[in-house]
Structure 1
Amino acid sequence: MKKNKRGLISMLCMIIVAGTVMAGCSSSGNKGTAESSATSQPQVSAAASDEGESAARLDMKFWTRGLPVENAFTKKYAENRFNVNIEHLVMDDNYKEKVNLMIVSGDFPDYIKDMSFAEYDQYVQQGVLAEIPIELLEQHAPKYMAWLKEVMGSDDPFRYFQRDGKNYAMPNMWTPAVSVNALGMREDWLEKVGIAKKPETLAEFEEALIKFRNDDPDNNGKKDTYGVSAALGSANDIQGLFSYVFAAFGVHPGLFYEKDGSIKRGEIEPAAKDALAVLRRWYEAGLIDPEFVINKGDNLDQKVFESKVGMLQSAWWNFIPPEAFFEGKYVDKMPDAKWLVLNGPQGPNGDAGLTQGNPMTNSGVLFLKHMEQDREKMIRYIEMIEAFNFEPEYLELANYGEEGVTFRKNGEAYEWIPPYDKKEEQQKFGIDRSIYHYDGIFNNYDLQAPFMTAPQYREIRREAEQTGKGKYDILYPVHKPVYNDYFDRLDQFTVKSFINFISGRSSLDDFDKYVAEWNAMGGDKVMEEARQLYAGLQ
């Protein structure tokens, strides 16, 4: 699995080269009070050691998801270890607008993150960003560098971020993206309707959905359950429309992907008509929740919680216990339900999968221009990022607090000490990695596994996170000005057309007419741009 991911990521990195034409991703070991451990002797950072003297105490500003509580354990640890004062800058829904206002007003943050590749190039061209010398990262963040080279499959990953021979980013990769989506199917419903074999083929999936609809799997004596449902995040959310059925026919609507040596867009491929025919059959048979066209995430969840839907697409972690990774909402809120985590059904030619995510989601950490003149502070940030993402000691205290006070170890397992088994008490103590991460943008999930997943759940997690297969948009990081001009109207047209095909409002005989209209609306220009970008990779 790792080798496959590295191969995909290596190809993605090649795409970033084309994207340069863009316009513009010891636990303290102390047993005692929180006060004593958090204020114990601070370690001097390497920045100070290089100069052979104690480092000056620096004022640092980190982007986090919330403000700290008073005397927060993790914050005090970070301040004492690195001899800094930490201010929290809160990321909210208006984060990017906030950043731009700070830059325009001259109140520059020291760094920014989560910017798109188009925004990265724009900031470089505007002279807003500081150069980050690669040798500085090699010296002060060796663990980060080793991780980056591994996941990007390259000994020189920065060549994809360099502009005019200079690097301006600490790149990030969200490695779970390539297998993030999976199907969850009610295993207890399968047992109730008499299906013992885990469904694999499209026909076997269809058989299960028919029984979910007709054989009263919830035992309430009513025909009020559906085989499957979906939720559209927006009017142009093509990928929310049963991506696994299209993948069974080897097409992936809403994505640019490679097939047979050329770039494709799944919604206009002939095989999409075959997938639509299956969905039309399912809809006419009542297997699909008819409200899929108006569902949003919350009300789809409610239908699942109320046992009205037997299968849906979601992130794999939603179908396993929250203790195994994160959230686990369909297990946490449905303790009597049993879930199978599945890849998409196999189609007539053996194709299977779901729409997945591009692992290069943003440009990573970017320092602002004034930091070029404050090398000591830049180094301190780099050292803190290295420690708080790649050191087991910090991962332990960030997730569990202080050994002997908030938790104890039992073999490989971590056990909360009351009252810290309650979330609100953990937050009062200052244990919340979404707030005290300094900066937790980089996730080495192999390293984090022991702190995120209890031993009894690790195999469940491993199997679930490797289940989903499929394609992701290989041109996602590349600036596509033509596509940006047309995608909204094209995607809305596709969603509306596909809903009409599925519901029977339009005849499938009109599929070629739909494709012709899609091209006439600007789709032909979009595909020509995509072909040129893809050709530049070869």
Structure 2
Amino acid sequence: MLKITRKSVFVLIMIICMVTITALAGCSNNSANNSANTNGTTPAANDKNTDTNDATNADPLSAAAGNAIIEADLAAVVTPDYFKNTPEFEYTIQLGPTPLEKGSYGQRYFEKKYNVKLKFVDIDESNRKEQLNLMYATGTTPDIVQVSLPDVSDYSKQGLLAELPTAMIEEHMPNYYAMLQKYDPQLLSITRVNGKNMGLARFNLNGGIPRAGNIRADWLENVGVTEIPSTIQELEEVFIKFRNDDPDQNGAKDTYAISNPSDYAGKHWFQSIFGAYGTNPFNWVERDGKLQFGLTAPETKDALKLLNKWYELGLIDPEFIMDKGRSSDAVDIATKFAQGKLGYVDSLNFDDVQWDNDGHISFRWVANQPEWQAWFEANKDDKTKLYSTGVFTDFDDSAPGPIYITMPPVTGPEGESGYQREGYSNSVVVFGKHLEEEQEKFEKLLKIMEHQHSDFDSYLAQSYGPEGLMWVKNDKGENALNADWSKHELFHPQFKKLGVNWITNIMNWTNPEFMAIWGPQTEQRYKLTGDVIREYPFYEDLLKVVLPSQGKYTELLDTRVKEYVIKTIAGDIDIDSTFDDTVARWYKDGGEILTKEANDWYSSTK
């Protein structure tokens, strides 16, 4: 049951008025200009065939009903004083997808809220990089563009981008600046080119949460282990028991400790084990202040020798060469873990281990545990309780059934530990060179971004639209996603009809405090799960750009590494007799060039 509020009554009145006026006038919606390159201020009429002649038969999922909600919401938008008292600049933007029609809700909200005009640059998203190159080559330089990190250097060297001094970020985006300082200060320097900052990294909360290891608590108990392993040696002892001591108590020797997501990027292969040695054969790591490719690090040799030992002991599933990390129609690692074939998994995201009967691990786990099935069924109508279970970090006898423990990374022989993470930024925004000569316009744009990042009501509207469409208030007065939204005539999977989310909210998903806004399930995901795992030690690939020669030497960074890792673990080749020659050949075949380019970039960020 939805809560009836004063606002919802007002919306209903608006719907009736609009439909009645339309019926009396005998009007129909005219076809709107379909170009996203033009600026518009008229309502987006997203359905040209809706019958609106009878107010009493108005379909709540129709475009007419949706547009009435939009008009009511926009009528209530208030422009803050700062933006009201600054010039009405026109901003040309290219953030990715663009609205299907001019005058979308997102565009009109943005324009009214910030006293500006918006003009979208429409490009073919299926070939984004080439289209961006063509855009710039034909003389179109938007005020703001979303790019990948490697593009910053390319476009900066072509003289297309405005410098964004760090002091400007701190002055005009103080909340965002402080947040970057808190989570990862390096994000303020990764966009430097030849000592100048040429862009702004967009914060990505999920990328800052590492892929944690998970171990079956019931197996630990069944083999007599009462403490979570904290060192690589203790983990090895547990793994031996998982293989030899019948942890599933079925009387057969049919269990393994660990496997490998062969379909994943190499950096996720046995990532927690490599982390215990302070390396990863697929990452660029720092040694003596310089970047070194992980395959060439001596610590990688030590980790591979351990993995080969485990394989010879039968601890690693012999199907590790072809096991899938994630699949909806085949037995993957999560399925093997849940079904009692594996005792440890370290390759999945934090939301996969969330105890919501929806994550990739938790869904399969519940499907194999009758006690958990009964618990979820009994609490399905109490969302607060249903999503009250945080990650288990130790044994817990109060749990409804068997659990998996999300454990801190084990420490290696030299005290190293960590799980692989992607990093807090996966995209960057850059600014047109002309803004260096239009400081007031530049500063206003930064303040708009700060407002989008900091003001919850504006963030909600610009990411998810007005109340009553994509989201509603439930009977407890909480924000909740509308279960019927996908049936609405204004629905579009990329938000192109409403024109919100990534289309007009430059700072979408950048505020950690705005992630858990859809009630208990998102609170469980980000607070009871993500916030716990985020605190675990981590490591990440320190190279954040595509190297100039990378396309020429892709095999050196992927295929060759995978082949060597698989063959050494499986014992097809001897590590001691081949490692040094493998490293020397890697450098000779192009690794020297890649290493020089990597360090040229690395030094430019300092």
Determine the structure 1 residue equivalent to 2:532: 463
Amino acid at match of 1:385: M
Q: SS where residue 127 of structure 1 aligns?
A: coil
Distance 1:116 1:354 in 2: 23
Tell me the CA shift for residue 496 of structure 1: 1.3
Distance 2:479 2:465 in 1: 11
TM-score, length-scaled by structure 2: 0.66
The structure having more radius of gyration, on CA atoms, is 2
Deviations 1:363-383 (A, max 9, x none): x21123466687776566444
Q: 2:346 aligns with which of 302, 306, 312?
A: 312
Tell me the CA shift for residue 96 of structure 1: 1.6
The verdict on how the C-alpha distance between 1:294 and 1:198 changes in structure 2, with shifts beyond 3 A counting, is same
Bigger Cα displacement from structure 2, 123-132 vs 66-75: 66-75
Q: 1:169 aligns with which of 188, 199, 221?
A: 199
Tell me the CA shift for residue 500 of structure 1: 1.0
Whether 1:96 and 2:129 are equivalent positions in the alignment is yes
The verdict on how the C-alpha distance between 1:227 and 1:512 changes in structure 2, with shifts beyond 3 A counting, is same
Amino acid at match of 1:147: M
* Kept in 1: contact 2:199–2:429 (CA 8 A): yes
Distance 1:389 1:159 in 2: 20
* Kept in 2: contact 1:130–1:367 (CA 8 A): yes
Mark the runs of 5 or more structure 2 residues left unpaired by the alignment: 12-68, 370-402
Determine the structure 2 residue equivalent to 1:143: 175
The verdict on how the C-alpha distance between 1:204 and 1:426 changes in structure 2, with shifts beyond 3 A counting, is farther
Q: 1:180 aligns with which of 181, 190, 210?
A: 210
Tell me the CA shift for residue 445 of structure 1: 1.6
Amino acid at match of 2:528: E
Distance 2:409 2:198 in 1: 39
Whether 1:126 and 2:194 are equivalent positions in the alignment is no
Determine the structure 1 residue equivalent to 2:77: 42
Q: 2:565 aligns with which of 491, 498, 513?
A: 498
Tell me the CA shift for residue 99 of structure 1: 1.5
Q: SS where residue 531 of structure 2 aligns?
A: helix
Tell me the CA shift for residue 443 of structure 1: 1.4
* Kept in 1: contact 2:184–2:424 (CA 8 A): no
Determine the structure 2 residue equivalent to 1:302: 332
Whether 1:343 and 2:402 are equivalent positions in the alignment is no
* RMSD over aligned Cα atoms: 4.6
Identity of aligned residues (%): 25
Whether 1:391 and 2:455 are equivalent positions in the alignment is yes
Q: 1:254 aligns with which of 274, 277, 282?
A: 282
Deviations 1:455-496 (A, max 9, x none): 5662333212222x233333435x755777546325432321
Tell me the CA shift for residue 187 of structure 1: 3.6
Determine the structure 2 residue equivalent to 1:202: 232
The verdict on how the C-alpha distance between 1:87 and 1:206 changes in structure 2, with shifts beyond 3 A counting, is same
Determine the structure 1 residue equivalent to 2:391: none
Higher relative contact order (CA 8 A, sep 6+): 1
Determine the structure 2 residue equivalent to 1:7: none
Amino acid at match of 1:293: I
Distance 1:152 1:29 in 2: 43
Deviations 1:111-138 (A, max 9, x none): 3213224x22221222222455778756
Amino acid at match of 1:228: I
Deviations 1:258-289 (A, max 9, x none): 34666544323333333222211222343323
Q: SS where residue 417 of structure 2 aligns?
A: coil
Distance 1:379 1:321 in 2: 44
Amino acid at match of 2:78: Q
Tell me the CA shift for residue 162 of structure 1: 6.4
Q: How does 1:278-297 map to 2 (within 5 A)?
A: 278-297=306-325
Deviations 1:322-361 (A, max 9, x none): 69xxx83322454356432233322233322233334455
Determine the structure 1 residue equivalent to 2:417: 352
The verdict on how the C-alpha distance between 1:238 and 1:456 changes in structure 2, with shifts beyond 3 A counting, is closer
Tell me the CA shift for residue 97 of structure 1: 2.2
Amino acid at match of 2:230: E
Q: How does 1:228-243 map to 2 (within 5 A)?
A: 228-232=258-262, 237-243=265-271
Q: SS where residue 282 of structure 1 aligns?
A: helix
Determine the structure 2 residue equivalent to 1:414: 478
Bigger Cα displacement from structure 2, 522-531 vs 201-210: 522-531
Whether 1:63 and 2:95 are equivalent positions in the alignment is yes
Whether 1:513 and 2:581 are equivalent positions in the alignment is yes
Tell me the CA shift for residue 502 of structure 1: 0.7
Q: SS where residue 347 of structure 2 aligns?
A: strand
Deviations 1:13-65 (A, max 9, x none): xxxxxxxxxxxxxxx994543345422243336675344x7x37x57545245
* Kept in 2: contact 1:231–1:296 (CA 8 A): yes
Q: 1:488 aligns with which of 548, 552, 555?
A: 555
Determine the structure 2 residue equivalent to 1:331: 362
Bigger Cα displacement from structure 2, 380-389 vs 429-438: 429-438
* Kept in 2: contact 1:490–1:521 (CA 8 A): no
* Kept in 2: contact 1:239–1:254 (CA 8 A): yes
Q: 1:424 aligns with which of 486, 497, 509?
A: 486
Amino acid at match of 1:40: A
Q: SS where residue 335 of structure 1 aligns?
A: helix
Distance 1:496 1:487 in 2: 14
Bigger Cα displacement from structure 2, 61-70 vs 184-193: 61-70
Distance 1:492 1:220 in 2: 39
Bigger Cα displacement from structure 2, 453-462 vs 423-432: 423-432
* Kept in 2: contact 1:182–1:343 (CA 8 A): yes
* Kept in 2: contact 1:399–1:451 (CA 8 A): no
Q: SS where residue 352 of structure 1 aligns?
A: coil
Distance 2:228 2:484 in 1: 38
Determine the structure 1 residue equivalent to 2:45: none
* Kept in 2: contact 1:68–1:88 (CA 8 A): no
Q: SS where residue 181 of structure 1 aligns?
A: coil
